[in-house]
């Protein structure tokens, strides 16, 4: 992230972007107001320098039993549905796309969802800020596939982010990855095997083609199915 695009409060490390556009159509007046008034209240705190102490998310959600992280929540359908169905779980949602963040802020406001915290930006900021073994589950759902070979290094699943995920997900915790792009699925399986911290749980083709129990889905998933692409659902356990 360059100095020109870095927002106040974001971490200390500069690195290449791994996502595309940051905003779409202009926000409505209400959405702008939510950014000004609600986002500061529900924003997940970050470390801003290497000397800052890491942040235990259980201090952000002091009365909740588990902590989940969603990387790139898009329009927020999955994040909001999970938070609504699991009031005893704290959810940290990360999304650089302003319009997606606006949708989640509206849902938090309308439905009074106290168990969501939002990071408007790169999920790596949050990973760098968390204490070790502090997450029970992480979701990486329909990440940007960066299909051109020269852009593959921008894919979220890779050596650096897997190392970060392995650090913050507790042993026995879960990493869930979903994609409708066969090459990204192959890439994810190769990268997780190379990393060695995550064990793929599937025993049959039916398991990775069937969404997990109580799966709420996303708009990207619905679009993929409409257009004839088959989503794959990969579940990994963080090895001890």
Residues designated as active site:
144
Short-list 145, 110, 107, 139, CA closest to 217: 139
Angle between the N-to-C axes of helices 77-85 and 98-111, in degrees from 0 to 180, rounded to the nearest 10: 20
- Identify the CA nearest to 66 among candidates 169, 197, 214: 169
151: region left, alpha or beta (phi > 0 left; psi from -120 to 50 alpha): alpha
Query: Please, what is the Cα angle at 97 between 18 and 107, to 5 degrees?
Result: 135
């Amino acid at each position: 992230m360059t100095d020109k695009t870095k927002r106040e409060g974001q971490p200390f490390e500069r690195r290449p972007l791994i996502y595309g556009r940051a905003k779409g159509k202009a926000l409505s007046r209400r959405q702008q107001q939510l950014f000004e008034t609600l986002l500061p209240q529900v924003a997940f705190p970050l470390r801003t320098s290497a000397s800052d102490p890491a942040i235990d998310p259980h201090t952000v959600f002091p009365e909740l039993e588990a902590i989940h992280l969603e990387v790139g929540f898009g329009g927020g359908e999955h994040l909001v549905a999970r938070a609504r169905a699991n009031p005893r779980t704290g959810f940290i949602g990360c999304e650089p796309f302003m319009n997606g963040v606006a949708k989640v802020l509206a849902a938090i406001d309308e439905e009074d969802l106290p168990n969501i915290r939002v990071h408007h930006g790169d999920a790596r900021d949050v990973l760098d800020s968390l204490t070790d073994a502090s997450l029970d589950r992480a979701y990486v759902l329909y990440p940007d596939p960066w299909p051109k070979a020269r852009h593959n290094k921008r894919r979220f699943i890779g050596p650096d982010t897997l190392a970060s995920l392995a650090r913050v997900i507790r042993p026995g915790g879960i990493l869930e990855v979903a994609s409708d792009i066969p090459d990204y699925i192959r890439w994810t399986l190769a990268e997780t095997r190379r990393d060695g911290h995550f064990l793929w749980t599937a025993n049959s083709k039916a398991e990775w083609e069937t969404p997990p129990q109580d799966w709420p889905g996303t708009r990207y998933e619905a679009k993929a199915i409409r257009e004839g692409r088959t989503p794959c659902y990969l579940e990994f356990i963080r090895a001890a």
